[in-house]
Amino acid sequence: MRLFNKVAIVGTGLIGGSIALAIKKKRLAGEVIGVSRHKKSLLLAKKKGAIDRGSQEIDIIKGADLLILATPPSTIIDLAPKISQIIGKGCIVTDVASTKEELVSSLSKIFPNYVGSHPLAGSEKRGIINADPEIFKNSLCILTPIKNTTEKAFKKVNLLWRQLGAKTVLLSPKSHDKILSFTSHLPHSIAFSLINSMPLSYLKFASTGLKDTTRIASSDSELWTDIFLSNQKNMLKTIGLFQDALSRIKSAIQKKDKKQLTLMLKKAKNKRDRLGDYCH
């Protein structure tokens, strides 16, 4: 089913590349255009059949009826004014950034047909080399329409994600950033801190527990710096709540308070056991 004539994807990395591959595979667009700072990324995207044409020059997006911004948040903010002078006013625009409040506020003023997206389908891997058209299958994609979002933008972007295999759910940008600061950004900040606090020579004794708790510490450093800063207020709050929870466990260990410690660990186990129910 062809949904678009010309889809332009700015940022042909893991997510942008995976969307491109899935659109091509499902024949959802007449052509898919890629833009990247990296020539190698474009060459590989072309070779993998993710894009029909690619360029390091942004002008190639001219005439697109869908534009997907798939770079880190700060790059999106930087590029948006220039992009708005190239694409037509009817062009539907979305992004795939992990924070929404700042971006939606800015992009909805610049693009008349914009709606924010956040597919919960990344991984610690990066680059077109790891792109996979199947990563959105059974994943959750959060859409963040606001009062002035056009029905046309919302309907088409919603349909796109469903065609890529995702379940879509709506949240306000504010709720999105609050929730994601807990479910995604906090675990990342903890994984980075955990591995940073570990003596290098001890790594050879790592068991699966350490490997799993720190897997996401291999995530892209610049992208996550961007995400943390773009969700600053929520991050400070959620890190604070986690610090309190850890302090309570530390204090029970200090006091050798077996009863209280068992209670906290049981509460954690019961909650974590419920996570198995949510499979995206």
Q: Considering the rule CB under 8 A, would residue 100 count as an interface residue with its own copies?
A: no
Is residue 31 within 8 A of residue 6, CB to CB? The reply is: yes
Q: Considering the rule CB under 8 A, would residue 138 count as an interface residue with its own copies?
A: no
Which regions of 127-270 does DSSP assign to beta strands (E)?
140-143, 167-170
Smaller CB separation from its own copies, 19 or 191: 191
Q: Considering the rule CB under 8 A, would residue 147 count as an interface residue with its own copies?
A: no
Question: Which helix H or strand E contains 233, and what residues bound it?
Answer: helix 232-254
Q: Which of 17, 122, 145, 173 binds its own copies (CB under 8 A)?
A: 122
Give, as ranges, the residues between 200 and 259 that touch its own copies (CB under 8 A).
200, 202-222, 224-225, 228-229, 232, 235-236, 238-246, 248-250, 253-254, 256, 258
Q: What distance in Å separates the CA atoms of residue 106 and residue 137, rounded to the nearest whole number?
A: 30
* Crossing angle between the packed helical segments 232-254 and 221-230, to the nearest 10 degrees: 100
- 93 Cβ contact list (under 8 Å, min separation 6): 66, 67, 68, 69, 87, 107, 111, 113, 114, 115, 153
- Return the bridge partners of 140, or none: 167
Is residue 133 within 8 A of residue 25, CB to CB? The reply is: yes
Q: Which of 1, 57, 147, 197 binds its own copies (CB under 8 A)?
A: 197
Q: Considering the rule CB under 8 A, would residue 56 count as an interface residue with its own copies?
A: no
Q: Considering the rule CB under 8 A, would residue 137 count as an interface residue with its own copies?
A: no
| Closest separation in Å from C-beta 123 to its own copies | 7
Smaller CB separation from its own copies, 2 or 272: 272
Is residue 45 within 8 A of residue 51, CB to CB? The reply is: yes
Smaller CB separation from its own copies, 49 or 240: 240
Smaller CB separation from its own copies, 89 or 205: 205
Q: Which of 43, 110, 170, 198 binds its own copies (CB under 8 A)?
A: 198
Q: Which of 5, 105, 138, 193 binds its own copies (CB under 8 A)?
A: 193
In terms of Cα–Cα distance, which of 53, 48, 63 is closest to 18?
A: 48
Tell me the window of 23-31, 33-41, 60-68, 195-203 that interacts with its own copies (CB under 8 A).
Answer: 195-203
Q: Considering the rule CB under 8 A, would residue 170 count as an interface residue with its own copies?
A: no
Q: Considering the rule CB under 8 A, would residue 79 count as an interface residue with its own copies?
A: no
Tell me the two tokens of residue 3.
Answer: 């949904």
